[in-house]
Amino acid sequence: MQKEIPGPAVISLLVDNESGALARIIGLFSGRGYNIRSLTVAPVDEEGLVSRVNVVTTGTPADIRQIEAQIERQVPVSRVVNLTAEGPHVAREMALIKVVSHGEARTEALRIAQAFRARAVDTTASSFVFELTGSTDKLDSFIELMRPLGLAEVSRTGVAAIRRGPQTI
């Protein structure tokens, strides 16, 4: 048996956009003791009949395969992909980060924001709201850097992910 080391996995799925569909997916995770690190969901087709759910979870490769299989057997789920296992993919999230500070700290926050290509979407004399898009790691490090500079509030979207290249879900 291969060595099974737990790690994060990005799972994307398409689900019929019906009442209770999201509860069904979330309930499956909580009922079977799987972990949800982040979750995004929104309709993705023209008519709004199909939603895409991106879940970041953790587990051994065997755990993740079991999670995929449990999602796959749900009636309204038409497609499940473990993007982490399938190869190169793009995973992005967006965060709104409020920093409240003055003087040196305020200038430093703005300088770091520029280095991260974060946009100041709201500015007052004592605060910034930065909008930052990128990988989870990038957002994490930006937030860490803001912490001593007056970090006041964070709102993150969770991961949206898609496979690289012409192949689709």
Applying CB under 8 A, the residues found at the interface with other proteins are 1, 16, 19-20, 23-24, 27, 31, 62, 65-66, 69-70, 72-73, 75-76
- What lies within 8 Å, CB to CB, of 147 at 6+ separation is none
What gap in Å lies between CA 140 and CA 134, rounded to an integer?
Answer: 10
Name which of 1 and 125 has its Cβ closer to other proteins. Answer: 1
The distance of closest approach from Cβ of residue 75 to other proteins in the complex, given in angstroms and rounded to an integer, is: 5
Name which of 1 and 5 has its Cβ closer to other proteins. Answer: 1
Name which of 58 and 70 has its Cβ closer to other proteins. Answer: 70
Name the E strands within 85-126.
89-100, 119-123
The distance of closest approach from Cβ of residue 116 to other proteins in the complex, given in angstroms and rounded to an integer, is: 42
Sequential DSSP letters for 42-66: EE-STTS-EEEEEEEEEE-HHHHHH
Name which of 34 and 128 has its Cβ closer to other proteins. Answer: 34
The distance of closest approach from Cβ of residue 31 to other proteins in the complex, given in angstroms and rounded to an integer, is: 5
Name the E strands within 19-118.
38-43, 50-59, 77-82, 89-100
Please check whether residue 58 is in contact with residue 81, taking contact to mean a CB–CB distance below 8 angstroms. Answer: no
The distance of closest approach from Cβ of residue 34 to other proteins in the complex, given in angstroms and rounded to an integer, is: 13
